[in-house]
Chains A and B, each alone.
Chain A
């Protein structure tokens, strides 16, 4: 039991990521409201951003900025003293992607609202069935 507790506590960042992933996935699958689904999608993406950010950090390390660098031997670089900046920089791109996805999704949601007057998926489905009798599709 103790070993399980240490297993969870020492790797708490991964547990947080997985819990967030599952919350996002749950919202996307189980919620009927399209905006809630979009929020779920955003949580899902944010969880992965969190994963990358957490693997780049290091306890007791500092920012990867070299003061008075080049030519000053007193400030030689020790990789061990610095946080790995690469995952963080990658996530700047991923954040941009996730914002763009959110924008596209919300724009589509606005179009859907203008078209059907609701964002509840079951109500939209009913309206589709009314307008297209014989349509057997259940998703989208």
Chain B
């Protein structure tokens, strides 16, 4: 049983998704418990594996007992072990939060929602632990296709923005597949470790550089790095709230993990940073992403759209931090993957709670929310402080590593962009708080339908549903706990995940 854990991380939610689909026709009450048990099992397996990696080193698992390069290998080391725990925990928390809202929003489609949710989680966890480049493509498409379907559950403009996401996402995944094709042509292998062993003997080669560029371009589309970010803001804004709080924290971060994995474990550090001229252009793309993402966030009038543009800026943090190419920058990027997953979860859950209760997320209609939804707003404040980067919260520590990495590498443009973006985040959130705290209460729907609402108080906004609220507060506390333990995480896990000779 213990030896089979890497397979179970993926297999349990996959089979549970089929089970949930079937059970929806027989006994609907069973669907939610099964779904949460499956994600919980994945989380437990991920935690156990991380502990095993910490004590014994990387874990290899051959599916069906076929050793690579013939079979598909799963490999869990410090990098993906840590991120797998974060991803399964985010998925678990969001699922625990979503029951009341989901059943009210989706009604007849709730079973489909749970099944897609499980498949999406399966795809992401599979991407994290697989050691096979083609297998990664298949899992990428599993998570993308279920992502499109989840976004398509939404009302209003969700279908159009979902279709745009389908176009962009498919181009991204196809470019990655083409890059893997180039690698296969030159090495004859699809196993990551095997390709990494063969490649050095083939250098220098334009074909390898081309393969690298194609893979990276595909991943940049998928992670919405700035010029290729067009699909993200609308897709996340118009999605149902419980879907955007699942997809927004996870998709972009897992894609950044794939970029790190492909760069370090397939092509090598020396190849990517010394033999290609990609480092500076990508760094400048990241700087642009941070600056323009922040400015675009500043010009938004809807809470969820503002948060979506913050996600675009955060992608720039991680990509830039990684391509600084030194220990602090890379540690900051990996730490920020973890922190940003929880920060984004926190603010999107709060936005979901607001959208659910106030039925509106236009900033000017959010007046008086501190009085009507105090706990939700408290959690939003913690999430916002973390996104700005105020010390006890985790956002400060990853930003600290990123900035010191930028100074060590002499990339002051990157440092300036990070500081600028923190300031803009400060303005963004304090503007929200000002509206929510100081403006007099006038619940938006009471304002709009004043004639149909008889007295003040009835139909007013109340606190979020209990399950959502519990998880939201737990996430907010987690942001502070992560901040306190970030030194431990960096020295005991992340430093072991980076290439040893790093300055």
Whether a CB of chain B sits under 8 angstroms from the CB of A115 is yes
- B130-177 contacts to A, CB under 8 A, are 134, 137-138, 141, 145, 148-149, 152, 157, 159-167, 170-171, 174, 177
B375-406 CB contact bits vs A (8 Å, 1 = yes)? 00000000000000000000000000000000
Cβ of A41 and Cβ of B159 under 8 Å apart? no
Cβ of B166 and Cβ of A41 under 8 Å apart? yes
Cβ of A37 and Cβ of B181 under 8 Å apart? no
Whether a CB of chain B sits under 8 angstroms from the CB of A105 is yes
Whether a CB of chain A sits under 8 angstroms from the CB of B420 is no
Determine the chain A residues whose CB is within 8 A of the CB of B145 once the complex forms.
97, 100-101, 104
In the assembled complex, the Cα of A25 lies from the Cα of B134 at a distance in Å of 23
Whether a CB of chain A sits under 8 angstroms from the CB of B269 is no
- A30-81 contacts to B, CB under 8 A, are 34, 37, 41, 44-45, 48, 51-52, 55
In the assembled complex, the Cα of A41 lies from the Cα of B161 at a distance in Å of 16
Determine the chain B residues whose CB is within 8 A of the CB of A140 once the complex forms.
157, 160-161, 163-165, 230-231, 234-235
Q: How far is the CB of B295 from chain A (nearest CB, A)?
A: 14
Determine the chain A residues whose CB is within 8 A of the CB of B355 once the complex forms.
none
Q: How far is the CB of B163 from chain A (nearest CB, A)?
A: 4
Cβ of A94 and Cβ of B177 under 8 Å apart? yes
B331-344 CB contact bits vs A (8 Å, 1 = yes)? 00000000000000
In the assembled complex, the Cα of A97 lies from the Cα of B145 at a distance in Å of 9
Whether a CB of chain A sits under 8 angstroms from the CB of B423 is no
Whether a CB of chain A sits under 8 angstroms from the CB of B184 is yes
New contact pairs (19) apart from A48-B174, A101-B145, CB-CB < 8 Å: A34-B163, A41-B167, A52-B181, A55-B184, A87-B181, A90-B190, A94-B177, A97-B141, A100-B141, A100-B145, A104-B145, A104-B149, A104-B152, A108-B148, A108-B163, A124-B160, A128-B160, A139-B234, A140-B163
Cβ of B181 and Cβ of A51 under 8 Å apart? yes
In the assembled complex, the Cα of A69 lies from the Cα of B163 at a distance in Å of 50
Q: How far is the CB of A47 from chain B (nearest CB, A)?
A: 8
In the assembled complex, the Cα of A51 lies from the Cα of B184 at a distance in Å of 12
In the assembled complex, the Cα of A45 lies from the Cα of B152 at a distance in Å of 22
Determine the chain A residues whose CB is within 8 A of the CB of B166 once the complex forms.
41, 101, 104-105, 108
* Interface SS, A side: helix
Whether a CB of chain A sits under 8 angstroms from the CB of B502 is no
In the assembled complex, the Cα of A137 lies from the Cα of B305 at a distance in Å of 11
Contact partner, A139, options B141, B170, B185, B230, Cβ 8 Å: B230
Cβ of B170 and Cβ of A45 under 8 Å apart? yes
Identity of the chain B residue whose Cβ is nearest the Cβ of A34 in the assembled complex: B163
Interface residues of A (CB under 8 A from B): 25, 28, 34, 37, 41, 44-45, 48, 51-52, 55, 87, 90, 93-94, 97, 100-101, 104-105, 107-109, 111-112, 115, 124, 128, 134, 137, 139-140
Contact partner, B174, options A45, A90, A104, Cβ 8 Å: A45
Whether a CB of chain A sits under 8 angstroms from the CB of B498 is no
In the assembled complex, the Cα of A2 lies from the Cα of B137 at a distance in Å of 40
Whether a CB of chain A sits under 8 angstroms from the CB of B407 is no
In the assembled complex, the Cα of A108 lies from the Cα of B178 at a distance in Å of 26
Q: How far is the CB of A88 from chain B (nearest CB, A)?
A: 12
In the assembled complex, the Cα of A90 lies from the Cα of B180 at a distance in Å of 12
Cβ of A108 and Cβ of B152 under 8 Å apart? yes
Determine the chain A residues whose CB is within 8 A of the CB of B234 once the complex forms.
137, 139-140
Given contacts A111-B152, A115-B159, A140-B163, contact A101 B170 (CB under 8 A): yes
In the assembled complex, the Cα of A124 lies from the Cα of B160 at a distance in Å of 9
Determine the chain B residues whose CB is within 8 A of the CB of A55 once the complex forms.
181, 184-185
Q: How far is the CB of A50 from chain B (nearest CB, A)?
A: 11
Cβ of A139 and Cβ of B164 under 8 Å apart? yes
In the assembled complex, the Cα of A41 lies from the Cα of B231 at a distance in Å of 15
In the assembled complex, the Cα of A115 lies from the Cα of B177 at a distance in Å of 34
19 A-B contact pairs sorted by A residue (CB < 8 Å): A37-B167, A41-B171, A44-B174, A45-B174, A48-B174, A87-B181, A93-B134, A97-B138, A97-B141, A100-B141, A101-B166, A104-B166, A108-B152, A112-B163, A115-B159, A128-B160, A140-B161, A140-B231, A140-B235
| Max chain A Cβ within 10 angstroms of own Cβ: one of B152, B162, B167 | B167
Q: How far is the CB of B296 from chain A (nearest CB, A)?
A: 11
Determine the chain B residues whose CB is within 8 A of the CB of A105 once the complex forms.
148, 163, 166-167
Determine the chain B residues whose CB is within 8 A of the CB of A25 once the complex forms.
171
Determine the chain A residues whose CB is within 8 A of the CB of B134 once the complex forms.
90, 93
In the assembled complex, the Cα of A87 lies from the Cα of B180 at a distance in Å of 11
Q: How far is the CB of A13 from chain B (nearest CB, A)?
A: 12
Nearest 9 A-B pairs (CB), nearest first? A140-B164, A140-B161, A111-B159, A140-B234, A108-B163, A97-B141, A112-B159, A105-B166, A104-B148
In the assembled complex, the Cα of A130 lies from the Cα of B234 at a distance in Å of 18
Cβ of B162 and Cβ of A108 under 8 Å apart? yes
Cβ of A112 and Cβ of B141 under 8 Å apart? no
Identity of the chain B residue whose Cβ is nearest the Cβ of A87 in the assembled complex: B184
